[in-house]
Amino acid sequence: MPLTFYPTDPKLAIFEKVQQYLEANGFLVTARDLARPWGGFFVIDETQAQQFAQKFFPGIPAADLRISGRLSPKILIVQGSRRLSWQYHHRRAEIWKLVAGEAGIAVSPNDDEGIVQSMIAGDVIRLDRGQRHRLVGLENWGMVAEIWQHTDALHPSDEDDIVRVQDDFGRSVL
C-alpha cells in the first residue's frame, strides 16, 4: 500500500505514518531524528541492508552497492518548501530513491549549486563521494530511501562527514 502525504499533515503524523510503514515491512528502526529543521530521518538496522536494498532498490544487489565494507540504510523525510544543506561527503557515496510524496534534487561537481530537478516516485539517484548535492522539499512532504555507501572501510562515514557549503538554517558551513 503506497504512502500518501498531504502538505497540511503535521510533522509528527508523517513520522508516525512512516514508522508504521517501516515496521509493517519488517524494518527495525535503530534511531530517528525529528528535530532537523528540514524534516528528519530514520536509521534502519545495518544488518537489514540487503532487505532494504531489495525493497527500495530492486534489481541492484547489495553486493553491487558496496564500495568498501558496510552499507547504512536510512529514510529521509523532507518537508515541503524546506531544503537540506548544500553539501558533500569525504567518506561516502549515496544512492537515493523517492518512495513517496515529492522532492527535488540539485547536484553539481563543484560548489556552484545546480538547478533543482523534480523527482518522481521511483526515481533513483546516485551521488558520488565529493559530489555536491541537496535534497529539496517541493510543495508536499517527501520520503527518500537512502543508502550510505562507505568508501573508507577503516573510517566509515557518520553524521560528522557532512561538509556544508550552504545552509538555510544557520548551521556551520565550510
- Per-position DSSP letters for 77-134, written without gaps between them: EE-TT-B--EEE-SSEEEEEEEEEEEEEEEEESSSS----EEE-TT-EEEE-TT-EEE
Name the nearest CA neighbour of 84 among 92, 96, 72.
96
Instruction: Check residue 147 and give its pLDDT.
Output: 96
Q: What are the phi and psi torsion angles at 48 (to 5°)? A: -100, 15
The pLDDT confidence band at residue 68, using thresholds 50, 70 and 90, is confident
Cell numbers found for residue 162: 557532512
Residues 31-40 pLDDT 10s: 999 999 999 9
Residues 124-164 pLDDT 10s: 999 999 999 999 999 999 999 999 999 888 888 999 999 99
Burial of 85 (0-12, 13-18, 19+ CB in 10 A): buried
Instruction: Check residue 52 and give its pLDDT.
Output: 95
Angle (CA) 70-161-114 rounded to 5° is 105
Cell numbers found for residue 145: 530511501
The pLDDT confidence band at residue 1, using thresholds 50, 70 and 90, is low
